[in-house]
Amino acid sequence: MIVVMEPDATQEQIEAAARKVGELGLRANVIVGTERTVIAVVGEERQHAKELLEVSDGVATVMPILAPYKMASREVRSEPTTVTCGSFSAGCSQIGVIAGPCSVESEDQIIASARAVKAAGATAVRGGAFKPRTSPYSFQGLKEDGLKMLATARQETGLAVVTEVVSTEDVELVAKYSDVLQIGARNMQNYRLLEAVGGVDRAVLLKRGPSATMDEFLLAAEYILNEGNHRVMLCERGIRTFEAHTRFTLPLASVPYLHRKTHLPVIVDPSHGTGHTYLVPDMAAAAVASGADGLIIEVHPDPKNAASDGYQSLDFEGFAQTMDKCRRVAAALDRTLGAPPA
Amino acid sequence: MIVVMEPDATQEQIEAAARKVGELGLRANVIVGTERTVIAVVGEERQHAKELLEVSDGVATVMPILAPYKMASREVRSEPTTVTCGSFSAGCSQIGVIAGPCSVESEDQIIASARAVKAAGATAVRGGAFKPRTSPYSFQGLKEDGLKMLATARQETGLAVVTEVVSTEDVELVAKYSDVLQIGARNMQNYRLLEAVGGVDRAVLLKRGPSATMDEFLLAAEYILNEGNHRVMLCERGIRTFEAHTRFTLPLASVPYLHRKTHLPVIVDPSHGTGHTYLVPDMAAAAVASGADGLIIEVHPDPKNAASDGYQSLDFEGFAQTMDKCRRVAAALDRTLGAPPA
Amino acid sequence: MIVVMEPDATQEQIEAAARKVGELGLRANVIVGTERTVIAVVGEERQHAKELLEVSDGVATVMPILAPYKMASREVRSEPTTVTCGSFSAGCSQIGVIAGPCSVESEDQIIASARAVKAAGATAVRGGAFKPRTSPYSFQGLKEDGLKMLATARQETGLAVVTEVVSTEDVELVAKYSDVLQIGARNMQNYRLLEAVGGVDRAVLLKRGPSATMDEFLLAAEYILNEGNHRVMLCERGIRTFEAHTRFTLPLASVPYLHRKTHLPVIVDPSHGTGHTYLVPDMAAAAVASGADGLIIEVHPDPKNAASDGYQSLDFEGFAQTMDKCRRVAAALDRTLGAPPA
Amino acid sequence: MIVVMEPDATQEQIEAAARKVGELGLRANVIVGTERTVIAVVGEERQHAKELLEVSDGVATVMPILAPYKMASREVRSEPTTVTCGSFSAGCSQIGVIAGPCSVESEDQIIASARAVKAAGATAVRGGAFKPRTSPYSFQGLKEDGLKMLATARQETGLAVVTEVVSTEDVELVAKYSDVLQIGARNMQNYRLLEAVGGVDRAVLLKRGPSATMDEFLLAAEYILNEGNHRVMLCERGIRTFEAHTRFTLPLASVPYLHRKTHLPVIVDPSHGTGHTYLVPDMAAAAVASGADGLIIEVHPDPKNAASDGYQSLDFEGFAQTMDKCRRVAAALDRTLGAPPA
């Protein structure tokens, strides 16, 4: 931590700031510059140290040096973490592929989807039973009925089930029927929910909030890790920017950045990340080339009649072609994409 | 709703899209242009109409015309709504002022704060008992003990109490001790929580999420209104942009924009909206000049030793001066700011 | 400047980085922390020092401490600069008001506009003769004819003339007819143009680029100051964010922020900053309350038939009402707005 | 164009708006809806039609349907354009690769760079002779001396030369020594400069401004095309967002989006687009996978001692490895990357 004093800070103010550093159990190195003085702070930093120093008289700014997250950090664990749940793995040379409809609409729909995505090489099936919708007037999901249909789809195909949980009350129920609990982008900073999924024996797919910084994203993961659940996967699904020709802006540089900062696997969602079916295949391939550990893609038997997200869903044929493209890119980079196609 | 066809859409595609409009119970007006055809859609739109049309063959885009929110809309209620709870009102010629510390730290702290802000003219006291913090290692609040201290502060001063609720499980408890339930920016799209506060007899202060569009903000309010709770106040607290010299960017044009679109009162938070104590007084005055119905300001007896947000809190004297400044601006615009100072 | 080493930096790397600091003529203070080492750098920094250190082996990041601009800085000149040109002043207790049409369309139009805005209390007239337009197919301005009309308007009213210059070739010509040269937002980083206006005896109104940081904005001003022209005014006109309900997002916190960092006057443009006529009056008043030294507002005799920007222009009556509102806010804060109205 | 009336628009206002449509030489289709009336406008739209209708009484908004650019549009030319200049091509199955230092620093440096990038398979060499720098105190380039060194490098290697032009005065000079004129991101809306490069017989590499929308980007290209120069290449180099861990956010979905909207080739700049050397290889590979027609990459013999941009430059070995990676991805997608390596 570096405490930067104002150019006109008095000797008293500098001494007071240095004293405060001492009171926090840290060591102050006062460095007198030609234009201003800085205090380099050494020691194990307490939580509030930065905030407390920031408001001292004569202090211009306090610059943290250490990352605020710990258990998610590469500094704590240098090897990548592989998260495995049944048919699905991410964080190794095999790229995990989660595919399926935005919402579970019927048993036929989810079973057909699971079979089709499995045939194309996916290693997990997704489908929403509890849907967080922007409008209270939109379809809100089939709830427990939807979860049961997902479980049936797993039984039929052997694919791991990924589904979203939106409330602490539902965690136990959703965990009963699924293999991976998805935390949606809107809930990335719903800390109670993070703590709740940190307490169950299920892998977690944590989606980045559309305005979350990388530190905020990793601190959200830290909430889950801190409860003892180490099977956390990070999902880049696009951020909100001034761009309007895509639904969100998908910043693939997140993938190599996160690989440098954290040992957790990084999944990319090109469906939400673009918001348009025709952009999904190229961005899925680009995600693989950027080094992603997994993909999550919306696939629907009949996107034109989907209950939600039809405009960004692939149909079965489009998904098979996308998988073929991504498989070639993965192979060129000495990786494998999902399971071999049927 | 306007369905815009691709320039090379075939006659069959145009007819299929028009037929789909009819199947949705709407009327299609096909307009053949020099470069492309559009279909103007008339009638009471169902929820999925836009999404279903968007994925028809040959359709380039679908442009909605109506606002997606209804009960929050000026079109439903043209007069402004005044929200009143005890000492506090917003939405009328008197500008409501909510002030107090970020976190409740002790009974002494919150009572001293309540007395000081009341003396300066505030009409409600704020203080966090349940704190949603970015890091799991930060101070998380005094919980029910903090709520009790807030209730004591109300008893001592007569000020209405505003405090945040972060989880559905806590709604009843927080409602027991407070007058206004605050939904924080991180929870703006925590729909279960919105529904829960929509079901209790307490006013709600709904903070805008840092990347929420105005439509998303008003749809979040709609979730609460839709449960029967009509005492909803909107709070602009800053958005996330590329600017780094402020913590968030405070877009005051939200105030006149929202006044045109909705009948709900609009409160401005210049503390979170700037993130720096020295910017708060000018931005509070600017908020009043922009037409805000209320202010919410962080005030602490000793910002240098605050448990949270000290860097953006005013001390008692700073708050009294800010109130004086805002009071003069309000008077110049024929409004009054809070209660008369002691 | 603080050089932060990687946690696993070797002793050799630390020594090499410290040596490099010495080679740059600076003094290195190596501070060994519990988790990593930092080097505090003291001395008069050369231009490339940061970049050169950043790429040394084992260096994680280099954090600058000093602002990169000098002549624009409060540290160089602590008193505010007042810019005066004829009828117009900014940077003192009187708030300067520049008003007029987006484009000069005819002599009648600009003279009528100049008279009307003067009657309402404006202290300068604006009008574009060289128009930078997003589309090559849009109206590009009357060029020298337009400049002559502006000069006539000045003769008729005594108001100083503010007009945009878009190319180095035109600087001399535009300077001949005008009092203040405006650099548009799109040209904020057109450094040749900045240097050119830095070399003439005319005040400059420098508009912030829609994605410029404050440091970039002040460095652009520095280009002009560095050529010897000290009459530079900064203009906040809105930034590009995800918000789509306004044309740009107008961040008024720029005003008090800039007042702390620079001695140059700060003007606000609520017309471009919102993009909608109905938002201009409230945001003009808010700009005054935030402490702005001046306003620049688009006013047109007949916005419905304007050649450009009609959707964000006030008509004469709307401008007179806006001035009245702003005048009251200014008075409440012990300032005066423009000249007394006729 | 669709004119949407306010819900409370009067019959007179609707008729007046429809009449105005007729006066503009267009045909009005008035469609009376259940909640409001819209007017669908048919015909060849004049430039100001939208703006003029927007300010009619009772009009809520006007929604354009056609893209504002014409010559850049796929609707005008459905086949992709291949731009060729000597050794370099983009827009065909071969992916063009431009590489070299940010600034030309010496003849040795640029010749060594040209040789190294050619050996690795690049098809053009880049190097800045006129440098637009954020700070007036930064290195501004070697100017004509630098251009001569570039020409020597071309002579030595046969590689086409790409270099930036920052001012209309320099266009002729820069064109004399180079094959491709680069318009930097800061100058994307410097329309005089666009017109100037539109008038010379040199290909143009147009970089996207960091806050430019796609329509603005394509309209900037339109300025060049409109002057008769059809060899225009678009370069995505990252946008400004709230993200601070990368210098800019590189939105690769621009590539497939632009391929759908325009026939012009799309080049990606992963160096500026990330701002960190270690992110460049993965993002270059991702750009190829997304379908880019070319890459432009900063390469320096000794990034640690570069005069500019060392922090985002690859050294020769890093570039050769990046090329190898990209070549494999290109081959997997049935394309070739640059020339065969030496």
CA neighbor of C325 nearest in space, from C299, C297, C286, C291: C286
Residue A61 sits at the chain B interface (C-beta within 8 Å): no
Distance to chain D for A64, nearest Cα, Å: 14
What percentage of chain A has pLDDT greater than the value 90? 74
Q: What are phi and psi of B197, to 5 degrees?
A: -75, -20
What percentage of chain B has pLDDT greater than the value 70? 98
Count of other CB atoms within 10 angstroms of residue B244: 11
Mean pLDDT of A168-194: 96
Counting one residue from chain B and one from chain C, the pairs whose CB atoms sit within 8 A come to 121
Among C1, C36, C39, C42, the strongest candidate for a mutation testing the A interface, having the largest count of A CBs within 10 A, is: C42
Give contacts of A48 with chain B, Cβ < 8 Å.
138-139, 307-308
Which residue in B4, B42, B66 is closest to D31 by CB distance? B42
Mean pLDDT of C110-133: 96
* Cβ-contact C314, C303 below 8 angstroms: yes
- Alpha carbon distance C108, C301 (integer Å): 10
Is there a contact between D311 and C191 if contact means CB atoms under 8 Å apart?
A: no
Q: C-alpha dihedral over C264, C238, D270, D215, to 10 degrees? A: -140
- The whole-number pLDDT of residue B199 equals 96
- Alpha carbon distance B96, B294 (integer Å): 4
- The whole-number pLDDT of residue A37 equals 83
Residue C132 sits at the chain D interface (C-beta within 8 Å): yes
CA neighbor of D190 nearest in space, from D167, D171, D172: D167
The radius of gyration of chain D's CA atoms, rounded to the nearest angstrom, is 23
* Cβ-contact B36, D65 below 8 angstroms: yes
CA atoms within 13 A on the CB side of A184: 23
- Alpha carbon distance B70, B52 (integer Å): 21
Q: What residue in A sits closest to D247 (Cα-Cα)?
A: A253
Provide, for chain B, the percentages of residues in helix, strand and coil under a 3-state DSSP scheme, each rounded to the nearest 5.
Answer: 40, 20, 40
Is the pLDDT score of B46 beyond 70? no
Give contacts of B217 with chain C, Cβ < 8 Å.
none
Is the pLDDT score of B34 beyond 70? no
Q: DSSP H helical segments within chain C, as ranges?
A: 11-23, 49-54, 107-119, 144-157, 171-177, 191-198, 214-225, 254-261, 270-274, 280-289, 316-332
- ipTM for this model: 0.91
Mean pLDDT of D302-314: 86
- The whole-number pLDDT of residue D49 equals 77
- Tell me the per-residue pLDDT of A264-304, one tens digit each, with 9 for 90 and over: 999 999 999 999 999 999 999 999 999 999 999 999 999 88
DSSP structure string for D125-185: EE-BSS---SSTTS----THHHHHHHHHHHHHH--EEEEE--SGGGHHHHHHH-SEEEEPG
One-letter identity of residue B275:
G
Distance to chain D for C116, nearest Cα, Å: 21
C 19-48 residues with CB < 8 A to D: 47-48
Q: What are phi and psi of B180, to 5 degrees?
A: -130, 125
Count of other CB atoms within 10 angstroms of residue C19: 12
pLDDT-derived band at D307 (thresholds 50, 70, 90) equals: confident
Is there a contact between C219 and D134 if contact means CB atoms under 8 Å apart?
A: yes
C 281-310 residues with CB < 8 A to B: 282-283, 285-291
- Alpha carbon distance D251, D214 (integer Å): 12
D 142-161 residues with CB < 8 A to C: none
For residue A145 the two structure tokens come to: 């009925």
Q: Which residues, 6 or more positions from B215, have their beta carbon under 8 angstroms from its beta carbon?
A: A134, B67, B68, B69
- The whole-number pLDDT of residue A47 equals 59
Residue C55 sits at the chain D interface (C-beta within 8 Å): yes
- The whole-number pLDDT of residue D160 equals 98
Give contacts of C52 with chain D, Cβ < 8 Å.
304-305, 310
Is the pLDDT score of D309 beyond 90? no
- Alpha carbon distance B22, A303 (integer Å): 19
Is there a contact between C305 and D52 if contact means CB atoms under 8 Å apart?
A: yes
Give contacts of D214 with chain A, Cβ < 8 Å.
243, 245
Q: What are phi and psi of A71, to 5 degrees?
A: -70, -25
- Alpha carbon distance C145, C273 (integer Å): 28
- Tell me the per-residue pLDDT of D111-165, one tens digit each, with 9 for 90 and over: 999 999 999 999 999 999 998 888 888 888 999 999 999 999 999 999 999 999 9
Which residue in A32, A75, A244 is closest to C244 by CB distance? A244
For residue B184 the two structure tokens come to: 């924080």
Q: What residue in B sits closest to C327 (Cα-Cα)?
A: B332
Judging by DSSP bridges, how do beta strands B27-32 and A232-236 pair with one another? unpaired
Q: What residue in D sits closest to A330 (Cα-Cα)?
A: D329
Is there a contact between C242 and B242 if contact means CB atoms under 8 Å apart?
A: no
- Alpha carbon distance D218, D268 (integer Å): 16
Give contacts of C68 with chain D, Cβ < 8 Å.
134-135, 137
Place of tokens 């050649």: C307
- The whole-number pLDDT of residue B69 equals 85
- Tell me the per-residue pLDDT of A86-141, one tens digit each, with 9 for 90 and over: 999 999 999 999 999 999 999 999 999 999 999 999 999 999 999 888 888 878 89
Q: What residue in C sits closest to A240 (Cα-Cα)?
A: C242
Is the pLDDT score of A74 beyond 90? no
Higher pLDDT, C342 or C111: C111
- Tell me the per-residue pLDDT of D191-204, one tens digit each, with 9 for 90 and over: 999 999 999 999 99
Place of tokens 């559905």: B168
For residue B325 the two structure tokens come to: 């400044």
Is the pLDDT score of B68 beyond 90? no
Distances (CA, A) of C129 to B321, C101, C197, D211: 46, 11, 17, 26
Residue C214 sits at the chain B interface (C-beta within 8 Å): yes
- Tell me the per-residue pLDDT of A283-293, one tens digit each, with 9 for 90 and over: 999 999 999 99
Beta bridge partners of D128: D103
Is there a contact between D256 and A283 if contact means CB atoms under 8 Å apart?
A: yes
Distance to chain D for A236, nearest Cα, Å: 13
Mean pLDDT of chain D: 92
Is there a contact between A279 and D253 if contact means CB atoms under 8 Å apart?
A: yes
One-letter identity of residue B317:
E
Higher pLDDT, A22 or A147: A147
Is there a contact between D31 and B35 if contact means CB atoms under 8 Å apart?
A: no
Helix orientation angle between A280-290 and A254-261, rounded to the nearest 10 degrees: 30
- The whole-number pLDDT of residue C231 equals 97
Which residue in A136, A209, A310 is closest to B223 by CB distance? A136
Place of tokens 């931005």: B283
- The whole-number pLDDT of residue C1 equals 79
pLDDT-derived band at C74 (thresholds 50, 70, 90) equals: confident
Chains in contact with B, where contact requires at least 3 CB pairs less than 8 Å apart: A, C, D
Distance to chain C for A167, nearest Cα, Å: 28
Which residue in A7, A34, A240 is closest to C43 by CB distance? A34
Q: Which residues, 6 or more positions from B179, have their beta carbon under 8 angstroms from its beta carbon?
A: B85, B86, B88, B124, B154, B160, B161, B162, B202, B203
- Alpha carbon distance A274, A283 (integer Å): 8
- Tell me the per-residue pLDDT of B149-163, one tens digit each, with 9 for 90 and over: 999 999 999 999 999
* Cβ-contact D250, D268 below 8 angstroms: yes
Among B4, B143, B240, B249, the strongest candidate for a mutation testing the A interface, having the largest count of A CBs within 10 A, is: B240
- Alpha carbon distance C319, A305 (integer Å): 52
Residue A191 Cα to chain centre, angstroms: 14
Chains in contact with D, where contact requires at least 3 CB pairs less than 8 Å apart: A, B, C
Is there a contact between B132 and A189 if contact means CB atoms under 8 Å apart?
A: yes
Q: What are phi and psi of B285, to 5 degrees?
A: -65, -40
CA neighbor of B241 nearest in space, from B208, B282, B210, B274: B210
- Tell me the per-residue pLDDT of B211-257, one tens digit each, with 9 for 90 and over: 999 999 999 999 999 999 999 999 999 999 999 999 999 999 999 99
Q: What residue in A sits closest to C42 (Cα-Cα)?
A: A33
Is the pLDDT score of C45 beyond 70? no
Which residue in C35, C241, C242 is closest to A66 by CB distance? C35
Residue C63 sits at the chain B interface (C-beta within 8 Å): no
pLDDT-derived band at C34 (thresholds 50, 70, 90) equals: low
- The whole-number pLDDT of residue D320 equals 98
Residue D189 sits at the chain C interface (C-beta within 8 Å): yes
- The whole-number pLDDT of residue C32 equals 79
Give contacts of D255 with chain A, Cβ < 8 Å.
282
Place of tokens 């300025």: D223
Is there a contact between A219 and B136 if contact means CB atoms under 8 Å apart?
A: yes
Which residue in C213, C214, C289 is closest to B286 by CB distance? C289
- Alpha carbon distance C98, C284 (integer Å): 12
Judging by DSSP bridges, how do beta strands A37-42 and D266-268 pair with one another? unpaired
Give contacts of B4 with chain D, Cβ < 8 Å.
65
Give contacts of A29 with chain C, Cβ < 8 Å.
29, 31, 40
pLDDT-derived band at D268 (thresholds 50, 70, 90) equals: very high
Among D3, D5, D39, D65, the strongest candidate for a mutation testing the B interface, having the largest count of B CBs within 10 A, is: D65
- The whole-number pLDDT of residue A46 equals 61
Mean pLDDT of C229-244: 97
Higher pLDDT, C206 or C42: C206
Distances (CA, A) of B157 to A172, B127, B241, D42: 44, 14, 39, 65
Distance between the two ends of chain C, CA-based, in angstroms? Answer: 55
Is there a contact between C139 and D186 if contact means CB atoms under 8 Å apart?
A: no
Give contacts of D333 with chain A, Cβ < 8 Å.
285, 325, 328-329
- Alpha carbon distance C238, C272 (integer Å): 7
Of the listed ranges A107-116, B84-93, D7-16, the one predicted with least confidence: D7-16
Is there a contact between A285 and D290 if contact means CB atoms under 8 Å apart?
A: yes
* Cβ-contact A339, A123 below 8 angstroms: yes
- Tell me the per-residue pLDDT of D75-113, one tens digit each, with 9 for 90 and over: 788 899 999 999 999 999 999 999 999 999 999 999 999
- The whole-number pLDDT of residue D293 equals 98
pLDDT-derived band at B204 (thresholds 50, 70, 90) equals: very high
Which residue in D55, D135, D186 is closest to C303 by CB distance? D55
Residue D332 sits at the chain A interface (C-beta within 8 Å): yes
Judging by DSSP bridges, how do beta strands C37-42 and C27-32 pair with one another? antiparallel
